[in-house]
Amino acid sequence: MLSAACAFLLAQTTAHAQTGAEKKGTVETIKVHGKSLEGNLEGDSPDRDVFVYLPPSYQTDQNRRYPVVYFLHGYGVKAEAYWNLMTVPATADKEMNGGTAHEMILVNPDAYTIYNGSMYSNSPTTGDWETYLTHDLVQYIDSHYRTLATRESRGLAGHSMGGYGTMRLAMKYPEVYSSVYAMSSCCLMNNPGAPRPAPARAAAPPPPPPPAAPGENNGRGGRAGRGGRGGGFGNVLSAEGAAWSPNPQNPPKFFDLPNENGAVRQEIAAKWVANSPLAMVDQYVSNLKKYRAVMLDVGLQDGLAASNKEMDESLTRLGVPHTFETYEGDHMNHVKDRFETRVLPFFSEHLQTTETKGSHR
């Protein structure tokens, strides 16, 4: 005769075998209007594509609410490219069914612009991307899905340009998110007067084409033209200029570059430096200390490794609790497995997964 413990274990195993293979999340592709993006001088649509992953139990457990992780994609491609690169929903299904991660909603907004990326910054040229992400988008998701609508249950992550956006928003909006994870962040120090290293690149299996990584110490080379709608790295200086040194009186570009006419324009270069997280971080120590968890990572063979290590050192110097990991890899070749083995478990550990009074509206 089976013991009670063995019988219970057998019942649990049988139930998992019967239902585990059937538990799949769903993905919805929606449009979320950004009032904060209206009237941007680039002419980009304020109606943005957003990919939403709903976990396996979402359709059947109608009374349950879920934590939310917002993921910011990298430069040079659209959000869908990262969705495919990280193999969502298959990876999320695997982790959530396997118990490695709690069930959560994943949200991936598209920030592709006429210059191939918004830099998740505010300007009249690109639009107010900070407000779009922290207000317009969050408000829409909380009002249209069964979320746990508190900062304790809301996380922010991103890779490359998205890592930059994660650090930028984390410094300014601790009332929105409680945990953040920045992967291989670009643009941590943008000094147009310094040499620019070659961007880190790695082949990702097509489709989609691999995202390009904006470099550090910008200012050498590049074109300031209107650019095209194709992906790639060629428009990165224009993207950064549109985000960090807008000029509504300079049509048709509506931005200034810090190195036009062969010389560095110090007043413009200062704006780029001011938008660098390594220059900003000292101003936002109290905000960063409000987070439940802060994590950064970067590959040792990534051209952005040095600046990411500098950010780790800065946070340590300032007494901001955080975790920093390096690994054997370049800029792109471990995005999928880091998302699976680090990002999802990180938020599973640190986001609140149970509903409290007043946690939704």
- Sketch the domain layout of the chain as residue ranges: 23-349
Position 194 scores a pLDDT of 73
CA atoms of 260 and 122, how far apart (whole Å): 22
Which residues does 3 contact at the CB level (< 8 Å), separation at least 6? none
Q: According to the CATH classification, is domain 23-349 in 3.40.50.1820?
A: yes
Instruction: Tell me the mean pLDDT in the region 93-116.
Output: 96
Strand order in the sheet with 105-109: 26-33, 47-54, 105-109, 68-72, 154-159, 179-183, 293-299, 323-327
Instruction: State the Cα–Cα distance between residues 74 and 157, nearest whole angstrom.
Output: 11
| C-alpha distances out from residue 135 to 54, 128, 239, 267, Å | 21, 11, 23, 31
**Angstrom distance (rounded) from CA 96 to CA 111:** 27
pTM of the model: 0.86
Q: Do 72 and 343 meet the contact criterion of CB atoms below 8 Å apart?
A: no
pLDDT-derived band at 281 (thresholds 50, 70, 90) equals very high
pLDDT reading at 77 higher than 90: yes
Q: What is the mean pLDDT of residues 113-123?
A: 97
Closest CA to 72 of 355, 346, 335, 351: 335
- Return mean pLDDT, the chain: 87
195 vs 101, residue with greater confidence: 101
CA 89 to chain centre: 17
pLDDT given at position 215: 59
Predicted confidence at residue 219, as pLDDT, reads 33
Per-residue pLDDT averaged across 177-186, rounded? 98
Q: How deeply is 135 buried, as exposed, middle or buried, from its count of CB atoms within 10 A (0-12, 13-18, 19+)? A: middle
Residue 109 has pLDDT above 90, yes or no: yes
Instruction: Give the pLDDT confidence of 195-235 residue by residue, as tens digits.
Output: 655 544 443 333 344 455 665 554 333 333 333 334 456 79
DSSP three-state, residue 213: coil
Residue 46 has pLDDT above 90, yes or no: yes
pLDDT tens-digit series, residues 303-358: 999 999 999 999 999 999 999 999 999 999 999 999 999 999 999 999 999 876 55
